[in-house]
């Protein structure tokens, strides 16, 4: 379906309903629709989708095809239990999320929703441990720290609210706080910018005012400095553990002549979320290479299985990104990944890399900027078509000039017309007769 469509998206129940507008129309697959919801509402937990089925008295059923959707339809997000990774400490719970966001729905409601219908594997959207699901948040949420650190901060905040006394954290408490913040930052990027570190430090002071620093203008300059050093040490630890996003910048992976820690650092560019994801759990480079060969075989078939190609392209995204970071030659890369050089796969690859739908995002921004673009092209506003007058040398036998537009810096039309006619005239007398028949006439040309 083409054109703008809107959906009513429920998170948990009727008390949390939100509006989703898609400029490009109803997505062609359930996966694309789920990614639209995940990106727009910044959902970080795995989920499945349900829709109201009219044949079943408007009961919610698992969504297996977008053909069941229509404009202004109601869909429900049902959260799924996900595995805990090293980026999500076990001490974190739902209280560390922003109130009102999808991730703040209680776990009891998740369990109730899970029992409503059969769990279909076709509609479950899971994130692998090394794959990020969203970019840097608009508002950074301070996570929960270790149990001991939370108790100390709780007492410190009470003392600050009562008497204005600031807390002087011990090295162990400061280390626990920085460790928790580093793990939370790592959910979004391994190389935070200076303004992002400042945002984290400011959020820490706002959440725990007892950590405010005396003698500084902002009150959190020291925490920002601690965070910068902590992220450097945290990246070193992850590099030794084999994390691909930071291991790609290790000395052994650098080119000759660049054997320096600060030389040719490969970082995510703007809007890149999954810059260098890890290989899926249970897979090896050998198994991923075997799947790439199988994908290459499938692409070369006369009757291609598009669904199988999309599935294999999704599964091999991590190994493909690692190849891209090695900056191979384009012909070589195209020979290894011919399926990527397709319009639909380019859109999907952009979604995997940035979590943003390319086509709908572009068209939406284009519509938003259309008025400004028109003003830039025509600052004086729309003008009525005008007639321009020019002088041409035209033979007497010609009554009008057809399909001719006046342009600046063009030679007179008679040069083209005369040259063409002169080539057809055989003798000098005919040429002289033709030249004598030319007259200067005024021609009116309609231009837009």
Per-residue model confidence (pLDDT) at position 180: 92
pTM: 0.48
Pull the structure tokens for residue 423. Answer: 């080539």
Element (H, E) at 75: strand 73-79
Q: Which positions ≥6 away from 74 have C-beta within 8 Å?
A: 7, 8, 9, 10, 51, 52
pLDDT at 429: 56
pLDDT in tens, 18-45: 888 887 888 888 888 888 888 788 777 7
Provide the 3-class DSSP secondary structure of residue 235: helix
CATH architecture of 5-123: Roll (3.10)
In angstroms, the CA 97 to CA 91 distance is: 13
**pLDDT digits over 364-394, tens only?**
888 888 888 888 877 666 665 566 656 555 5
Q: What is the rounded distance in angstroms from the CA atom of residue 332 to the CA atom of residue 117?
A: 48
Domain boundaries, the chain: 5-123, 147-253, 285-354, 386-447
Q: How far is residue 186 CA from its own chain's centroid? A: 18
How far from chain centre, in Å, is Cα 44?
15
Least confident of 292-301, 340-349, 359-368, 370-379: 370-379
Residue 82 pLDDT more than 70?
Answer: no
Listed ranges 213-227, 235-249, 354-368, 403-417; the one with the highest mean pLDDT: 213-227
* Structure tokens given for 238: 């992850």
pLDDT at 264: 64
Instruction: End-to-end CA distance of the chain: give it in Å, rounded.
Output: 35
Band of residue 124 on the pLDDT scale cut at 50, 70, 90: very low
Q: What is the DSSP string of 145-179?
A: --HHHHHHHHHHHHHHHHH-PPP---HHHHHHHHH
């Amino acid at each position: 379906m083409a054109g703008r469509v809107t959906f009513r998206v429920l998170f948990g129940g009727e008390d949390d309903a939100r509006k989703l507008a898609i400029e490009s129309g109803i997505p062609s697959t359930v996966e694309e629709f789920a990614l639209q919801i995940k990106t727009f509402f910044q959902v970080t937990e795995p989920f499945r989708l349900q829709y109201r089925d009219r044949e079943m008295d408007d009961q919610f059923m698992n969504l297996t095809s977008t053909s069941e959707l229509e404009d202004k339809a109601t869909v429900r997000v049902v959260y799924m239990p996900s595995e805990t990774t090293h980026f999500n400490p076990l001490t974190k719970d739902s209280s560390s999320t922003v109130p009102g966001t999808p991730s703040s729905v209680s776990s009891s409601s998740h369990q109730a929703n899970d029992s409503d219908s059969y769990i279909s594997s076709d509609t479950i959207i899971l994130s692998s441990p090394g794959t990020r699901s969203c970019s840097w948040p608009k508002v950074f949420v301070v996570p929960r720290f270790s149990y001991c650190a939370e108790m100390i901060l709780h007492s410190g905040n009470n003392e600050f609210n009562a008497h204005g006394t600031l807390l002087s954290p011990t090295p162990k408490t400061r280390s626990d706080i920085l460790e928790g913040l580093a793990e939370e930052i790592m959910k979004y990027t391994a190389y935070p910018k200076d303004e992002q570190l400042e945002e984290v430090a400011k959020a820490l002071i706002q959440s725990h005012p007892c950590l405010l620093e005396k003698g500084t203008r902002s009150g959190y300059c020291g925490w920002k400095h601690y965070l910068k050093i902590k992220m450097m040490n945290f990246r070193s630890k992850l590099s030794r553990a084999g994390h691909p996003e930071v291991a790609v910048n290790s000395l052994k992976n650098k080119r000759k002549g660049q054997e320096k820690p600060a030389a040719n650092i490969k970082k995510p560019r703007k809007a890149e979320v999954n810059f260098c994801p890890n290989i899926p759990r249970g897979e090896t480079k050998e198994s991923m290479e075997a799947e790439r060969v199988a994908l290459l075989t499938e692409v070369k078939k006369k009757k291609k299985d598009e669904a199988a190609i999309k599935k294999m392209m999704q599964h091999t995204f991590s190994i493909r990104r690692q190849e891209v970071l090695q900056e191979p030659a384009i012909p070589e890369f195209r020979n290894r990944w011919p399926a990527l050089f397709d319009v639909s796969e380019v859109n999907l690859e952009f979604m995997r890399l940035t979590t943003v739908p390319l086509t709908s995002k572009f068209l939406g921004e284009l519509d938003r900027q259309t008025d400004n673009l028109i003003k830039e092209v025509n600052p004086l506003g729309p003008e009525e078509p005008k007639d321009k007058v020019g002088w041409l040398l035209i033979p007497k036998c010609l009554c009008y000039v057809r399909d001719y537009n006046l342009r600046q810096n063009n030679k007179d039309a008679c040069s083209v017309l005369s040259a063409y006619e002169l080539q057809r005239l055989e003798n000098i007398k005919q040429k002289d007769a033709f030249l004598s028949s030319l007259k200067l006439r005024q021609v009116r040309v309609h231009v837009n």
